[in-house]
Amino acid sequence: METQKKHIEFHINIDEAADRLNVQIVAEKPTVGEMLTCLLGTVKCVATTVAENRSEDTQKTLHSFATMVLKLADEMQDEEDNR
């Protein structure tokens, strides 16, 4: 039995003038695992590109990304706690 392929699109629009990032995800009934797999694959590609442009190690760049995500999660939790 052939596995059905999934199609997931991430559209990212950067509006520098408004200092905004607009993200649109096009997917038909994705599971959390499928979304996480796509997201992590995308993050790895972005980290590789950033590392190459900065002449850095990809692993160091991924670590920096992870640190930023943790800080963002903490900020979001603080906002929830202050409501």
Virtual CA dihedral for 51, 13, 74, 46, nearest 10 degrees? -20
**What is the per-residue pLDDT for 70?**
92
pLDDT tens-digit readout, 29-72: 889 998 888 888 889 999 999 999 999 999 999 999 999 999 99
Q: Is 23:14 a contact under the CB 8 Å cutoff?
A: no
pLDDT confidence of residue 9: 87
CA trace torsion 23, 53, 55, 67 (10° rounding):
-10
pTM (predicted TM-score): 0.65
> In the prediction, which pLDDT does 2 show?
65
* Mean of pLDDT values over 22-27: 89
pLDDT of 1: 61
Nearest to 35 by CA among 45, 25, 47: 25
AA letter at 70: L
pLDDT at 77: 86
* Residue 67: CB atoms within 10 Å: 10
